[in-house]
Amino acid sequence: MSAETPACQLLQRQDADYRGWLWVAPPRDAWLEQGQGSVVSADHGVLQAWRECGRVAVSPFDDAALEPPGAVLFWPKAHALGEWWLLWLCANLPAGTRLQLVGENQGGIKRVLKVLAALGLGCRKLDSARRCMLFETRLDRVGIDPDAAWTTFEAEGLTLASHPGVFGHGKLDEGTRLLLGELERHLPGPERVREVLDMGCGDGILAAWLARRGHAVTAVDVNGFAVEATRRTLAANGLAGQVLVGDVYSALAGRRFAAIISNPPFHQERSIDYGPAGRLIREAPVHLQPDGELWLVANAFLPYPDLLESAFGGFQIVADDRRFRVYRAVTGAR
């Protein structure tokens, strides 16, 4: 089987014996998923794909003892997230374990050289092709706790937990700010408690804001870092809510809500990907109670009106500041 992604194509041409190795934060690629070794990833979709192939797949938040002969770290677009993964590997794998680091040139793989040097880890270049580069080092204890990457910031009177790789890292997104203003005006307050779903919860700002208003909140994200951030955000503010990891509605077992609220993602690394947002919209009526509401904020250029019209038979543009639009659609609008 041929590798599908450029980084995996570079790895496939190596003469290294990768049997038993640990693949760290990889992309979706059937060559990997049906090959050798195990995976650690914060992406629920990646973990599910590996498990469906009968492979060992763990989250960095699982309590798992790992002693592979080597590991390959796929360097992410978010440089700070790559640094976190490197620190996590140094803290969780035995000193001396071989580590290869691979990534696309446009994704900043060359920065790895400075990061490794700052940690006192040697490095050598193994190969380059497909606009990617491959480096190798050996892990060692570096005396830096990966948990130091967790930070907090204040927004909307709430304390928010933040981690590299989570949407809105360290700041409140302007689209979310616009959405919160409209929810303040239009969504029922604490006098009417409702079951509400925060889809794509990120750092938990929407979930915490809704819980503070007295709603019964469920929050979902495919990103394990976002799930952990939302749990920490709710705890930091003394708020209750259920937080689940899942791919769009996969973790909800047919549950229905009075409102679904989201600032949905449309990027997968550097590529535009409408898939998750499309599923969010198309399947929303099935997960809404009668007269249930879907609230979305999105960049104004995104083609969501056609999806909303098809799924709901109608919708409103509640706010539009030329950069972002807030949409509202109600079940039974046909």
Q: pLDDT for 119-158, tens place per residue?
A: 999 999 999 999 999 999 999 999 899 999 999 999 999 9
What pLDDT, on a 0 to 100 scale, did the predictor assign at position 191?
61
CA end-to-end distance (rounded Å), the chain: 48
What pLDDT, on a 0 to 100 scale, did the predictor assign at position 268?
47
What is the per-residue DSSP string for 179-231? HHHHHHHHS--TTS--EEEEES-TTSHHHHHHHHTT-EEEEEESBHHHHHHHH
Q: Is 186 exposed, middle or buried (0-12, 13-18, 19+ CB in 10 A)?
A: middle
In this structure, are residues 152 and 159 in contact, taking their beta carbons and an 8 Å threshold? yes
Tokens of 45: 């979709």
Domains and CATH numbers, the chain: 6-147 (3.40.50.150), 150-330 (3.40.50.150)
Tokens of 308: 């909303």
With 70 as the cut, is the pLDDT of residue 219 above it? yes
Torsion sign, CA atoms 82, 88, 91, 92? negative
| Minimum mean pLDDT range among 47-61, 129-143, 219-233, 274-288 | 274-288
- Global pTM? 0.91
Q: pLDDT for 237-279, tens place per residue?
A: 999 999 999 999 999 988 999 999 999 876 444 444 457 889 9
What pLDDT, on a 0 to 100 scale, did the predictor assign at position 254?
84
Q: How far apart are CA 102 and CA 201, in angstroms?
A: 29
Write down the mean pLDDT value for the chain. Answer: 92
With 70 as the cut, is the pLDDT of residue 108 above it? yes
What pLDDT, on a 0 to 100 scale, did the predictor assign at position 193?
67
What pLDDT, on a 0 to 100 scale, did the predictor assign at position 188?
75
Q: What is the average pLDDT across 60-73?
A: 92
Q: How far apart are CA 138 and CA 122, in angstroms?
A: 7
What pLDDT band is residue 115 in, cutting at 50, 70 and 90? very high
Q: What is the average pLDDT across 104-117?
A: 93
With 70 as the cut, is the pLDDT of residue 173 above it? yes
> Residue 123 is which amino acid?
C
Q: Is 50 helix (H, G, I), strand (E, B) or coil?
A: helix
| Minimum mean pLDDT range among 47-61, 120-134, 177-191, 271-285 | 271-285
| Sheet containing strand 288-299, strands side by side | 242-245, 216-221, 195-199, 257-262, 288-299, 324-330, 316-320
Q: How far apart are CA 249 and CA 246, in angstroms?
A: 7
- Taking 3-state DSSP, the helix, strand and coil percentages for the chain, each rounded to the nearest 5, stand at 30, 30, 40
Q: pLDDT for 84-105, tens place per residue?
A: 999 999 999 999 999 999 999 9
List 101's β-bridge partners, or say none: 73, 135
> Residue 327 is which amino acid?
Y
What pLDDT, on a 0 to 100 scale, did the predictor assign at position 253?
86
